[in-house]
Amino acid sequence: MIEFDSVTKVYPDGTTAIEDISFTVEEGTTTVLVGPSGCGKTTTMRLVNRLEEPTDGAVYFDGENTRSVDEIELRRNIGYVIQEIGLFDHMTVGENIATVPELKGWDEARIDDRIDELLELMALPREFRDQYPTELSGGQRQRVGVARALAADPDVLLMDEPFGALDPITRDDLQDEFLAIQDRINTTIIFVTHSINEALKMGDKIAIFDVGEIVQYDTPHEILANPATEFVEDFIGENRLLKQLSITPVSDVMDPVEAHADQFDDVGGTAAAADGGERLSDPPSPSTDLRSSFITLLEADRSMSPVVEDGEVVGVITESGIRSHFRDGTEGA
Amino acid sequence: MTTLLASPIAMLPALVAEYVDFAATHFDELVVLTIQHALLAADTIAIAVPIAVTLGVATTYDDRAATVILWLAGIAMTIPSLALFGLLIPFLGIGSPPVIFALVLYSQLPVIRNTYVGLTKIDEATLSAGRGLGMTRRQRLRRIQLPIAMPVILAGVRNAVVIVIGVAAVGAYVGADGLGEYIFEGIRTGNTTMIVVATIAVSLLALAVDYTFGVVEQYLRLRNGETIDQALGTRFLTTLLSVRNTHQ
């Protein structure tokens, strides 16, 4: 969908932001560009909607060199969210969201419906439509920012540290919500962050930047399991195993129910087990991450737990299962 | 009529009575002159603001142009009004035209300067978002910069209006309508009361217009999401216009 072909960007003052970068962003995936500040990740993102022009090399959008496309037209087909949000404070929330559809000349009724649709998507109350952005909290403002970026149903969404200025709790909520939204809209997303944890959480693919170059471009699992260089290892930081647990869903590790049928007094649906521990009030589901499932096991003092989905036991997660999964997957982590 | 030796304070009640009496007996004529004065100022502003805002926008495109334009507008303000009227009469005749021309010139500096400041002080993130969403430079100017700069531009206009109302009084010397007629007639006939009453009327007009513009400016600031201490008139205006929210 988006292809960087040996792209170099040198600023007029002589600083080289990125040098000879090549990578491809697949359609419908979220690619996170992550690295310390000044590594060129934001510049790389801004090359996509031509807020920056490459000094050398080319960026292709759907196989077409972006330089041969009208930049205004290009930007209207690419959503853009920035850390500072940049809402238009003199316009209502509705008018803010309507920006790109209006620029594209949609008719009023269509814009009107679209605003309501987006407010709902971003879990914002309908009354916000006629309010001004300054009346909203930081988290609500960024929801409007995302809604505005998605308004004209762009093929690609660029997000430059979108949750960076929010408090940790709001950030976490928005990340979770955004992951859910992303499943529904299936847009190709390029996401810039300096936080490896955010990258691991949000990305299907992660490009780790050192100064001006990509040192590893891989899935979160692969990056955690096999960091390509010492820089990547340092950047991931401590608790690599814990981070792996956080991004691995229970479904990757769970055993079929039949394998443990004798251990449960009622496989048919309740979460009670016969291994001596406490009864689980909130058993994990297949999409729960291993870290919280593991904590659930520890807290209940149990070695295994049923995995429940829609009131049905669909599998069994065991402590030994988790252990052996990571013994196979990593060495010495 | 006046006693030179009497202390001015002791004379004040008598003077005030005299002014009130004059204002009452000449009320109709004063109202007409005030309206003429206000219309002259309004004509001036109607011509001056579009020119000044255009020039102000131009200044944001080029730093060198900005220096030259602001410098020329500054020079224009230093030309004495009487001299300027005199210079313009051969081209524009007597009466309102040379006066309006001169006043348009005098109102340029505050409006150009405030337009420049208003357009350039806008939050970088807001402009960056506009650019990233695919607005052309003109669309950014029309949809973002000008609306956000509007209160600041209006403050410049407000400044200009007060200057214009004051200087317009001098225009009567070359035959323009307005309260200046009373002032010059007062000078000619040695009628101090006439001068004082006309001057007070000029000041009251300037204050009233200034206040009105101030209220509109505050209203625009509120609309732009700024937090300010509201004047009484602003509170009244916002209450009056709050139907906007429930209406849309």
Would you place residue B200 in the very low, low, confident or very high pLDDT band (cuts 50, 70, 90)?
A: very high
| DSSP-derived 3-state class of residue B172 | helix
Q: Tell me whether residue A108 is exposed, middle or buried, using C-beta atoms within 10 angstroms of its C-beta: 0 to 12, 13 to 18, 19 or more.
A: exposed
Residues in chain B within 8 Å Cβ distance of A74: 134
Query: Sign of the C-alpha dihedral, residues B154, B160, B164, B166?
Result: positive
Across A135-140, average pLDDT: 91
Query: Sign of the C-alpha dihedral, residues A51, A56, A60, A63?
Result: positive
Would you place residue A261 in the very low, low, confident or very high pLDDT band (cuts 50, 70, 90)?
A: low
Least Cα separation, residue B126 to chain A (angstroms): 4
Q: Is B148 on the interface with A (CB under 8 A)?
A: yes
> In B121-144, where does DSSP find H-type helix?
124-132, 137-140
Across B184-188, average pLDDT: 95
Instruction: Indicate whether B54 belongs to any domain.
Output: yes
Instruction: Indicate whether B195 belongs to any domain.
Output: yes
Confidence at residue A160, expressed as pLDDT on a 0 to 100 scale:
94
Instruction: Indicate whether B219 belongs to any domain.
Output: no
**Is B139–A103 a contact, with Cβ atoms under 8 angstroms apart?**
yes
Across A256-268, average pLDDT: 63
Confidence at residue A264, expressed as pLDDT on a 0 to 100 scale:
60
Confidence at residue A263, expressed as pLDDT on a 0 to 100 scale:
62
Q: Is B121 on the interface with A (CB under 8 A)?
A: no
Nearest to A115 by CA among A90, A136, A96: A96
**Is B225–A134 a contact, with Cβ atoms under 8 angstroms apart?**
yes
Query: Is residue A276's pLDDT more than 90?
Result: no
Residues in chain B within 8 Å Cβ distance of A162: none
Instruction: Return the residue of A nearest to B137 by Cα.
Output: A72
Residues in chain B within 8 Å Cβ distance of A158: 132
Residues 6+ apart with CB under 8 A from A50: A66, A67, A71, A74, A75
**Is A103–B144 a contact, with Cβ atoms under 8 angstroms apart?**
no
Residues in chain B within 8 Å Cβ distance of A87: 126, 129
Nearest to A11 by CA among A53, A66, A46, A48: A53
Instruction: Return the residue of A nearest to B245 by Cα.
Output: A130
Instruction: Indicate whether B229 belongs to any domain.
Output: no
Backbone angles phi, psi at B55, to 5 degrees: -65, -40
> What is the helix (H) or strand (E) element at residue A206, kind and residue range?
strand A205-210
pLDDT in tens, B148-161: 999 999 999 999 99
> Ranked by mean pLDDT, which of A302-306, A315-319, B151-155 comes out on top?
B151-155
Instruction: Return the residue of A nearest to B247 by Cα.
Output: A130
Confidence at residue B28, expressed as pLDDT on a 0 to 100 scale:
94
CB-nearest to B132 from A49, A133, A135 is A49
Cα torsion for A230, A235, A240, A242, to the nearest 10°?
A: 180
From the CB of residue A319, how many other CB atoms can be counted at a distance below 10 Å? Answer: 15
Across A8-15, average pLDDT: 92
Backbone angles phi, psi at B102, to 5 degrees: -65, -40
Best to test chain B binding among A90, A91, A192 (most B CBs inside 10 Å): A90
Greater confidence (A325 vs B48) lies with B48
Query: Is residue B166's pLDDT more than 90?
Result: yes
Query: Is residue B245's pLDDT more than 50?
Result: no
- With respect to CATH, is domain A250-329 assigned 3.90.1280.20? yes
Across A2-18, average pLDDT: 93
Would you place residue B246 in the very low, low, confident or very high pLDDT band (cuts 50, 70, 90)?
A: very low
**Is B143–A88 a contact, with Cβ atoms under 8 angstroms apart?**
yes
Across B133-149, average pLDDT: 94
Q: Are A76 and A152 in contact (CB under 8 A)?
A: yes
Alpha-carbon distance of A217 to A190, in angstroms, equals 13
Would you place residue B242 in the very low, low, confident or very high pLDDT band (cuts 50, 70, 90)?
A: low
Q: Which residue has the tokens 């029309």?
A: B142
Residues in chain A within 8 Å Cβ distance of B125: 82, 84-86
Instruction: Indicate whether B170 belongs to any domain.
Output: yes
Greater confidence (B240 vs A142) lies with A142
Local structure of residue B144 (DSSP, 8 states):
I
Instruction: Return the residue of A nearest to B248 by Cα.
Output: A130
Instruction: Indicate whether B246 belongs to any domain.
Output: no
Q: Which residue has the tokens 């209502």?
A: A92
Instruction: Specify the number of domains making up chain B.
Output: 1
CA distances from B36 to A122, B44, B202 (A): 57, 12, 11
Would you place residue A331 in the very low, low, confident or very high pLDDT band (cuts 50, 70, 90)?
A: very low
Give residue limits of the domains in chain A.
2-236, 250-329
One-letter identity of residue A309:
E
DSSP string for B38-64: HHHHHHHHHHHHHHHHHHHHHHHH-HH
Instruction: Indicate whether B227 belongs to any domain.
Output: no
Across A159-179, average pLDDT: 90
Instruction: Return the residue of B nearest to A94 by Cα.
Output: B248
**Is B132–A80 a contact, with Cβ atoms under 8 angstroms apart?**
yes
Instruction: Indicate whether B226 belongs to any domain.
Output: no
pLDDT in tens, A49-95: 999 999 999 999 999 999 999 999 999 999 999 999 999 999 999 99
Q: Are A100 and A108 in contact (CB under 8 A)?
A: no
One-letter identity of residue B166:
G
Residues in chain A within 8 Å Cβ distance of B143: 88
Across A188-199, average pLDDT: 93
Nearest to A217 by CA among A55, A71, A3: A3
The interface pTM score, or ipTM, of the predicted complex is 0.78
CB-nearest to B129 from A74, A86, A130 is A86
One-letter identity of residue A170:
T
Confidence at residue A277, expressed as pLDDT on a 0 to 100 scale:
53
Q: What is the mean pLDDT of chain A?
A: 87
Greater confidence (B233 vs A7) lies with A7
Alpha-carbon distance of B126 to B104, in angstroms, equals 33
Q: Is B136 on the interface with A (CB under 8 A)?
A: yes
Q: Is A202 on the interface with B (CB under 8 A)?
A: no
Which two structure tokens, joined as six digits, stand for B101? 């021309």
Confidence at residue A102, expressed as pLDDT on a 0 to 100 scale:
95
CATH class of this structure's domain A2-236: alpha beta
Which two structure tokens, joined as six digits, stand for B89? 């009469």
pLDDT in tens, A151-166: 999 999 999 999 988 8
Confidence at residue A270, expressed as pLDDT on a 0 to 100 scale:
46
The domain that holds B99 is classified in CATH as 1.10.3720.10
Confidence at residue B6, expressed as pLDDT on a 0 to 100 scale:
61
> What is the helix (H) or strand (E) element at residue B147, kind and residue range?
helix B146-168
- Chain A (73-112) residues lying within 8 Å, Cβ to Cβ, of chain B: 73-76, 80, 82, 84-90, 99-100, 103
Confidence at residue A328, expressed as pLDDT on a 0 to 100 scale:
60
Confidence at residue A324, expressed as pLDDT on a 0 to 100 scale:
80
pLDDT in tens, B98-138: 999 999 999 999 999 999 999 999 999 999 999 999 999 99
From the CB of residue A184, how many other CB atoms can be counted at a distance below 10 Å? Answer: 8
* A98-107, A257-266, B181-190, B214-223: segment of lowest average pLDDT: A257-266
Residues 6+ apart with CB under 8 A from A6: A20, A21, A22, A56, A57, A58
Alpha-carbon distance of B30 to B33, in angstroms, equals 5
Best to test chain A binding among B133, B222, B226, B242 (most A CBs inside 10 Å): B133
CA distances from A168 to A124, A172, A215 (A): 20, 6, 28
Would you place residue A140 in the very low, low, confident or very high pLDDT band (cuts 50, 70, 90)?
A: very high
> What is the helix (H) or strand (E) element at residue B193, kind and residue range?
helix B192-223
Best to test chain B binding among A48, A82, A89 (most B CBs inside 10 Å): A89
Question: Where in the sequence is the domain holding B69, given as residue range(s)?
Answer: 11-209
Least Cα separation, residue B223 to chain A (angstroms): 6
Local structure of residue A252 (DSSP, 8 states):
G
